[in-house]
């Protein structure tokens, strides 16, 4: 019989044992393996498949408490989904700091290099409902709960470093605008509709974020291959009480990669759980996702040295101005045991900070501090959501809070107030010397006003910086995204207003988008919002480039990111009966040795035969698996295998689509018949007479070993976006 692990909340383990016990504490596992079924009150159930009836064919009886308990529980199994970030996936892991950061912060988990701080990380999309696709064009949430020895620290960030609005009071407007429209609840998980662009076109402070949202950053290849950002400027505070400003970053060790928009739309149909599955499978197979935590630190004295305001969440600090120092590593190494108990019930809160970390006066951050408790009260049903196992700290909780819905802790003491003498004054206030949290003593001497600082009123220069920093293919994608989204908007007035705004980012961009919309850039658009003189003429306006300001920032383009690994990339090997097994295995083994995931895809399931009559197991059939679920494709030789595939429309489509989405493709020379069946074969650039030919990511050769080498080289490049425009495939 399985033993039960029971949690007694006020008997949390001492600090030294806490790490080891975290997994147990967080799990409260009730697997039921080997146990008899009982009611919720522990009575053994004789039969749970037949309700109590008056006779074999008679009516069910009201006294059937087993039926009623089962159905009542079922009727109450749903809680309100998150108002934003409803669609999410999560994992457990650990964080380790590389070097003590005592110069900047006294936070223990950023100083103790021997500590493995447990974390729980939830990734999410923003606009869609809980059951929506993983693959919309959207921001991704990147929320990390650190269970530190000084209490929980939540870094509730996104995969983009800036935000749409500067002040929290605008958040409900932003979210009302992007969510499905209220009269018909259309469209699900998409920003391409009138209300969103209506809001954006009246809210030019969103322009920088719009550039990120229209870029490929909104289409991550994997949750494991995207950056994370704390967005706001926070404070670090050291033991002497000296504070520095800090921006938090997460840098994925697999690099930052995206997919094509057309691909993303297809995946939504073929596998709407694409990101969730990818994360789950990577962890199950031991390919633990890793990120390095980075910090950009700005001494307090340098607060006003930038040409933007550090408190403005629509601005980033270019890495050229303040480098990102990598200070530690996070590894996700365990999937949740139960989606609802952990991923759904986890409650993040930007206000969960520990000594050594503090807030700034960013008006967006300030509003969030209020919002997150409030939302959990509604979503998790009362003030005791911190007692749900996934939300509990690994250190003991002692205070005078009592009662409330669903209270778990059975407090045994008589006093629940402070000061007291009946309880010997317990629990004591720690005071700063014993690790009590003290707020940074920022001096404030000002009038109460409902206004924004003029230092927040440059809405375009960082949008221009972002656009200018993109590679040509990235710029093309951004233009196409804007054309797509604004074409879905029905109101011509909104489209025109957006063209006006884009003019202030880059005139060429605005002109290209205008062309796609069949519109001219309007001349009569003054900007409703701050940032541009009301009488500025979009036709003659030049973007503001401040003196000495950067014109490009390398880290803003994914093209400059890590391109040195094919670890966990998925490769399809297309094969049919009479395939050349030697080639197939040589390439497969070379890919596996580099850490790739390889699947044999054939016209049907079961096994296929090799030319030497050996059996080869098939992983997937063409019926269920499209090319959009893979990063690259290889076609081994074997006359009959190639002939079968060349005559199979699904196989030919597989290759055409992989080419369209700019993926590496490899084939044996004697599989060339298969390539010739494709649309793109005649469009390949000239053969450059290399032994193994690699042309815009298409590798063709006689020798499987050198095909492997070239194919792996091509896969490290991730995608060959430059083939996209001139050689577009109509698939």
Residues with catalytic roles? 85, 158
| CB of 642 closer than 8 Å to CB of 670 | yes
Binding mask 175-214 for ligand HDE (x = CB under 6 A): ----------------------------------------
122 binds ligand HDE, rule: CB under 6 A: yes
653 binds ligand HDE, rule: CB under 6 A: no
368 binds ligand HDE, rule: CB under 6 A: yes
Binding mask 224-243 for ligand HDE (x = CB under 6 A): -------x------------
Please give the angle made by the CA atoms of 18, 23 and 24, to the nearest 5 degrees.
90
168 binds ligand HDE, rule: CB under 6 A: yes
Question: For ligand HDE, which is the closer residue by CB, 249 or 368?
Answer: 368
- Listed ranges 157-165, 317-325, 326-334, 698-706: which one lies at the site for ligand HDE (CB under 6 A): 157-165
The dihedrals phi and psi of 366, each to the nearest 5 degrees, come to -60, -40
Q: Number of C-alpha atoms within 13 angstroms, CB side, residue 448?
A: 0
The residue count for binding ligand HDE (CB under 6 A) is 26
341 binds ligand HDE, rule: CB under 6 A: no
157 binds ligand HDE, rule: CB under 6 A: yes
- Listed ranges 207-215, 372-380, 573-581, 684-692: which one lies at the site for ligand HDE (CB under 6 A): 372-380
The dihedrals phi and psi of 361, each to the nearest 5 degrees, come to -90, 20
Q: Which of residues 344-363 bind ligand HDE (CB under 6 A)?
A: 346-348
85 binds ligand HDE, rule: CB under 6 A: yes
Strands 693-695 and 698-701: antiparallel
| CB of 60 closer than 8 Å to CB of 67 | yes
The least CB distance from residue 206 to ligand HDE, in Å, is 12
**Greatest CA separation for the chain:** 90
Q: What's the rounded Cα separation, in Å, for the pair 138 and 134?
A: 9
339 binds ligand HDE, rule: CB under 6 A: no
Which runs of consecutive H residues, i.e. helices, occur in 131-190? 171-178
83 binds ligand HDE, rule: CB under 6 A: yes
- Listed ranges 153-161, 241-249, 455-463, 523-531: which one lies at the site for ligand HDE (CB under 6 A): 153-161
**Residues 372, 437, 457, 679: which binds ligand HDE (CB under 6 A)?**
372
The least CB distance from residue 310 to ligand HDE, in Å, is 15
**Residues 9, 88, 161, 637: which binds ligand HDE (CB under 6 A)?**
88
CA dist 122 → 156, 254, 343 (Å)? 9, 18, 7
Residue nearest to ligand HDE (CB): 141
What letter does residue 429 receive in the DSSP assignment? P
Question: For ligand HDE, which is the closer residue by CB, 106 or 122?
Answer: 122
Question: Of 331, 267, 328, 308, whose CA–CA distance to 107 is shortest?
Answer: 328
**Residues 371, 455, 529, 706: which binds ligand HDE (CB under 6 A)?**
371
Question: For ligand HDE, which is the closer residue by CB, 126 or 646?
Answer: 126
Question: For ligand HDE, which is the closer residue by CB, 90 or 260?
Answer: 90
Q: What's the rounded Cα separation, in Å, for the pair 282 and 279?
A: 5
The least CB distance from residue 234 to ligand HDE, in Å, is 11
141 binds ligand HDE, rule: CB under 6 A: yes
Kindly give, in sequence order, each residue whose CB lies less than 8 Å from that of residue 408, ignoring residues fewer than 6 positions away: 9, 384, 387
CB crowding 510-547: b at 16 or more within 10 Å, else e: bebbbeebeeebbeebebebebbeeebebeebebeeee
**Residues 351, 367, 423, 543: which binds ligand HDE (CB under 6 A)?**
367
Own/partner pairs, 10-13, CB within 8 angstroms, 24+ separation? 10/396, 10/397, 10/409, 10/410, 10/411, 10/412, 12/392, 12/393, 12/394, 12/395, 12/396, 12/397, 13/394
143 binds ligand HDE, rule: CB under 6 A: yes
Which runs of consecutive H residues, i.e. helices, occur in 523-606? 581-593
The least CB distance from residue 163 to ligand HDE, in Å, is 4
**Residues 25, 26, 27, 82: which binds ligand HDE (CB under 6 A)?**
82
Question: Of 586, 592, 723, whose CA–CA distance to 668 is shortest?
Answer: 586
The least CB distance from residue 363 to ligand HDE, in Å, is 8
84 binds ligand HDE, rule: CB under 6 A: yes
Q: Which of residues 17-56 bind ligand HDE (CB under 6 A)?
A: none
The least CB distance from residue 664 to ligand HDE, in Å, is 33
The dihedrals phi and psi of 246, each to the nearest 5 degrees, come to -145, 140
Residue 427, helix vs strand vs coil: coil
CA dist 392 → 88, 118, 131, 527 (Å)? 20, 12, 27, 48
The least CB distance from residue 362 to ligand HDE, in Å, is 9
Residues in the site for ligand HDE, rule: CB under 6 A? 82-85, 88, 122, 124, 141, 143, 156-158, 163, 168, 171, 231, 346-348, 364, 367-368, 371-372, 375-376
């Amino acid at each position: 019989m399985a033993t039960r692990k029971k949690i007694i909340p006020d008997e949390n383990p001492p600090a030294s044992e806490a790490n080891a016990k975290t997994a147990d504490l967080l799990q409260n596992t009730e697997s039921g393996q080997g146990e008899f079924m009982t009611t919720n009150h522990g009575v053994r159930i004789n039969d749970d498949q037949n309700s109590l009836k008056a006779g074999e064919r008679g009516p069910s009886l009201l006294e059937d408490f087993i039926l009623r308990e089962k159905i009542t529980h079922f009727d109450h199994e749903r809680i309100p989904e998150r108002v934003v970030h409803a669609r999410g996936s999560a994992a457990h892991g650990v964080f380790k700091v590389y070097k003590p950061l005592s110069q900047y912060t006294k936070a223990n988990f950023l100083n103790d290099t021997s500590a493995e701080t447990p974390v729980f990380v939830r990734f999410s999309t923003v606009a869609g409902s809980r059951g929506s696709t993983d693959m919309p064009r959207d921001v991704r949430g990147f929320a990390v709960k650190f269970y530190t020895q000084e209490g929980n620290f939540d870094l509730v960030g996104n995969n983009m470093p800036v935000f749409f609005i500067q002040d929290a009071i605008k958040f409900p407007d932003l979210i009302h605008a992007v969510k499905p429209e209220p009269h018909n609840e259309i469209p699900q998980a998409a920003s391409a509709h009138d209300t969103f662009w209506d809001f954006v076109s009246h809210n030019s402070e969103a322009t920088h974020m719009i550039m990120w949202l229209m870029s490929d950053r909104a289409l991550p290849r994997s949750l494991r291959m995207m950056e994370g950002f704390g967005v706001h400027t926070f404070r670090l505070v050291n033991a002497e009480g000296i504070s520095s400003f800090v921006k938090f970053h997460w840098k994925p060790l697999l690099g930052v990669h995206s997919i094509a928009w057309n691909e993303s739309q297809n995946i939504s149909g073929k596998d709407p759980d694409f990101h969730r599955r990818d994360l789950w499978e990577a962890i199950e197979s031991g390919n633990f996702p890793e990120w390095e935590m980075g910090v950009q630190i700005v001494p307090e004295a340098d607060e006003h040295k930038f040409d933007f305001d550090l408190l403005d969440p629509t601005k980033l600090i270019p890495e050229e101005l303040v480098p990102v120092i990598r200070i530690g590593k996070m590894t996700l190494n365990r999937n949740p045991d139960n989606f609802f108990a952990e991923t759904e019930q986890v409650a993040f809160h930007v206000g969960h900070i520990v000594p050594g970390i503090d807030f700034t006066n960013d008006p967006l951050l300030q509003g969030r501090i209020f919002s997150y408790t409030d939302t959990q009260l509604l979503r998790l049903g009362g003030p005791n959501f911190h007692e749900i196992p996934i939300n509990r700290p690994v250190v003991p909780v002692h205070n005078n809070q009592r009662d409330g819905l669903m209270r778990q802790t059975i407090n045994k003491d008589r006093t629940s107030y402070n000061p007291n003498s009946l309880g010997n004054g317990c629990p004591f206030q720690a005071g700063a010397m014993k690790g009590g949290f003290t707020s940074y003593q920022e001096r404030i001497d000002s009038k109460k006003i409902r206004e924004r600082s003029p230092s927040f009123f440059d809405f375009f220069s960082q949008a221009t910086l972002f656009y200018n920093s993109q590679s040509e293919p990235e710029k093309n994608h951004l233009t196409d995204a804007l054309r797509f989204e604004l074409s879905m908007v029905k109101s011509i007035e909104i489209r025109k207003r957006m063209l006006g705004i884009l003019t202030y980012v880059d005139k060429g961009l605005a002109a290209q988008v205008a062309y796609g919309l069949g519109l001219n850039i309007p001349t009569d658009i003054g900007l409703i919002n701050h940032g541009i003189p009301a009488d500025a003429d979009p036709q003659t306006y030049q973007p503001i480039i401040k003196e000495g300001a950067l014109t490009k920032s390398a880290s803003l383009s994914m093209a400059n990111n890590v391109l040195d690994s094919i670890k966990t990339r998925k490769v399809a090997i297309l094969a049919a009966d009479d395939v050349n097994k030697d080639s197939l295995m040589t390439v497969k083994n070379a890919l596996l040795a580099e850490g790739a995931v390889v699947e044999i895809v054939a016209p049907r399931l079961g096994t296929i035969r090799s030319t030497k009559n050996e059996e080869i197991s098939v992983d997937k059939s063409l019926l269920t698996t499209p090319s959009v679920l893979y990063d690259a494709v290889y076609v081994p030789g074997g006359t009959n295998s190639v002939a079968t595939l060349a005559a199979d429309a699904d196989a030919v489509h597989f290759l055409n689509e992989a080419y369209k989405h700019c993926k590496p493709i490899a084939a044996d020379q004697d599989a060339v018949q298969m390539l010739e069946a494709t649309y793109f074969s005649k469009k390949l650039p000239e053969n450059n007479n290399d032994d193994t030919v690699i042309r815009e990511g298409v590798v063709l050769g006689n020798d499987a070993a050198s095909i492997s080498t070239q194919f792996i080289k091509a896969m490290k490049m991730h995608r060959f976006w430059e083939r996209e425009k001139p050689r577009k495939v109509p698939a």
